Amino acid sequence: MDKGKNYEVKDINLAEQGKKNIEWAEMQMGALLKVRDRFKKEKPLKGIKIGLALHVTKETAVLVKTLVAGGAQIAITGCNPLSTQDDIAAALAKEGINVWAYKGETKEDYYRYLTNVINFKPQITIDDGCDLVSEIHKKHQDLIKNIIGGAEETTTGVIRLRAMEKDKALRYPIIAVNDSKTKHLMDNLKGTGQSTMDGILRATNVLFAGKNFVICGYGECGKGVAKRAQGMDSNVIITEVDPFKGLQAAMDGFRVMPIKDAAKIGDIFVTVTGNKNIIDIEHMKLMKDGVLLANSGHFDAEININDLKKIAKSKRNIRPFMDEYTLDDGKRIFILGEARLINLAAAEGHPSTIMAMSFINQSFACEYLVKNKGKLEPKVYVLPKEKDDEIARLQLEAMGIKIDTMTPEQKKYIESWEEGT
């Protein structure tokens, strides 16, 4: 481990590689770079301290540089023990950013680093999974009076925050970045769809064609994974608890069944529910020999790996991000990426283009919080529709795509009720 006054990273000598990877990400994040250019001129975040707990990836580094261009001071740590890209952490440290993160963090280091970010006394928090907000509310309430607000990246974090709001426990306003269309209908759907397959392939290099590919959860992430598994010629099976989502999956042409039935026939399983013990020991006992289990939901709670560790006769690491557990009857179950987000553990997370949209949302959320300082209640907010539309326009522009504008006649027609057949 390399330690400096304002950093703790795996190997500071990886900085040069990190810098090249950040440049590669920037080439695909033109829409975010446009925002960076404006931030450079307008400095909307001048003097604002922002604390981040995000996956420390090349795309996140592009966000960090955008916030810095806007005038912010930054302290960052990871939001998952396995998702940090060590070269990126080193590059950020070399640029003078406060950064504490490495791939394979112990639980102790994970929380120590969160505390480092909290001790930076952020006025804005950016979270992916709500751990930063949760730690501040549990242990550092004295800091809350100086916090303008926060922004949350993912579905699981937003669920936790809405639970806090309902319990009247939330003490400062949060922008649910996840809930913008340009976030969850892009990042969760297209990003998780592609990067989950990438993670499974890098960990295993298995053939998808002809396999029974079970996806637990048919939300935005599940839909993305299902479509890609289908495109790679797997027989896709969906498990759900929500009747409409179950119906949607069936109408999209997938087989839908309870996990108990899917467990008996599946070859590859992916959980993307944001819920707990979706694949439990009772299901593992029903599975075939040699099944692959992966999770792409936020926390490592979706596959009951804790109980698997207790009942397994033996465990071997076969290759990076692939552990073999053998049960008493000799059956082998392969757990990928320690049941943590497979796309970030075994691969590199979402492609940069997708993250450009997610991170414009984060940049706009910070700007919005500063502009509305003192005016927002301690609630969970969504960015205004105009901002979401602006992000879509910026991305279309970056892709060189033009769309039409309504004529005044069309605008009048669409807004009126008098005109009929």
Ligand X SMILES: NC(=O)c1ccc[n+]([C@@H]2O[C@H](COP(=O)([O-])OP(=O)(O)OC[C@H]3O[C@@H](n4cnc5c(N)ncnc54)[C@H](O)[C@@H]3O)[C@@H](O)[C@H]2O)c1
Among 19, 160, 184, 211, binds ligand X (CB under 6 A): 184
Minimum distance from residue 128 beta carbon to ligand X (Å): 8
Q: Which of residues 326-355 bind ligand X (CB under 6 A)?
A: 341, 343
Among 98, 123, 235, 239, binds ligand X (CB under 6 A): 239
Q: CB-wise, 69 or 341, nearer to ligand X?
A: 341
Q: Candidates 27-35, 237-245, 366-374, 402-410 — which segment interacts with ligand X by CB under 6 A?
A: 237-245
- 94 belongs to the binding site for ligand X (CB under 6 A): no
- Over its C-alpha atoms, the chain yields an Rg (Å, rounded) of 22
- 216 belongs to the binding site for ligand X (CB under 6 A): yes
Q: Candidates 32-40, 113-121, 152-160, 371-379 — which segment interacts with ligand X by CB under 6 A?
A: 152-160
Neighbouring-strand partners of residue 75? 51, 98
- 180 belongs to the binding site for ligand X (CB under 6 A): no
- 245 belongs to the binding site for ligand X (CB under 6 A): yes
Among 219, 339, 346, 361, binds ligand X (CB under 6 A): 219
Minimum distance from residue 295 beta carbon to ligand X (Å): 8
- 183 belongs to the binding site for ligand X (CB under 6 A): no
> Cα separation of 361 and 395, whole Å?
12
Among 185, 232, 241, 281, binds ligand X (CB under 6 A): 241
Residue 311 contacts residue 281 (beta carbons within 8 Å): yes
- 304 belongs to the binding site for ligand X (CB under 6 A): no
Residue 279 contacts residue 300 (beta carbons within 8 Å): no
Among 59, 87, 105, 240, binds ligand X (CB under 6 A): 240
Q: Which of residues 263-302 bind ligand X (CB under 6 A)?
A: 272-275, 278, 296-298
- 217 belongs to the binding site for ligand X (CB under 6 A): yes
Residues that bind ligand X (CB under 6 A): 154-156, 184, 187-188, 192, 216-222, 239-242, 245, 272-275, 278, 296-298, 341, 343
